[in-house]
Chain A
């Protein structure tokens, strides 16, 4: 199924724009989804996690419905 994943930080310069539209299995864990995204981002994906607007998802979590975000390591402040 088609999923929309918002991109942030260094991932916005990867040539996919701000929202990545990608075909993923209906039932997939974050770990599996990240492995499927790896060819699109290469080493830019190192240290990245998937998240919703409420929380960061763990590798074993199944991808929830709704818009997701792909977040690189953070450096606020």
Chain B
């Protein structure tokens, strides 16, 4: 399962999609909008996303994880405006044992931060906002 959506994320559905009777482990990571950053009080975050390329990059990351470990991976990323506490990204990895499930989850979130075309603008309680700095993209061969 690969998903970029304006709808609320459903981490339980991701977990179900990677579950199998052959699996002894499901590890999940859920990123959420926090209420403070760099000394500012945050009331919301707007996610902007180049959807066609983001979906392809998420699929490539999922495939890379599934080549590297014996896991089944699902990932979903939000788009649009989120309130504090809402889930912005959810990842699940199902596998025979816990080690590869944890490692795959960590790999996927780190790759998302490096290469998926998503941007976030924090909105502060004083009414102003700021686009956050990030990682420059590069073509991958």
Contacts and interface: CB of A to CB of B under 8 A. Distances in A.
Contact of A76 (B52, B89, B121): B89
For chain A, what secondary structure do more than half of its interface residues adopt (helix, strand, loop), or is it mixed? Answer: loop
Interface residues on A, range: 20 to 34
B48 to A, nearest CB: 5
Interface in A40-76: 47-49, 51-58, 61, 69, 71-76
Given A51-B137, A54-B53, A77 B119 contact: no
A48 B133 CA distance: 12
Nearest to B51: A53
A4 B71 CA distance: 41
A75 B135 contact: yes
A8 B114 CA distance: 16
Interface of B: 31, 47-50, 52-54, 56, 77, 88-89, 109, 112-121, 131-140
Interface of A: 6, 8-10, 12-13, 47-49, 51-58, 61, 69, 71-77
Given A73-B136, A77-B112, 13 more contacts: A8-B117, A10-B119, A12-B48, A49-B138, A51-B117, A56-B139, A71-B50, A73-B134, A73-B137, A74-B134, A75-B118, A76-B77, A77-B77
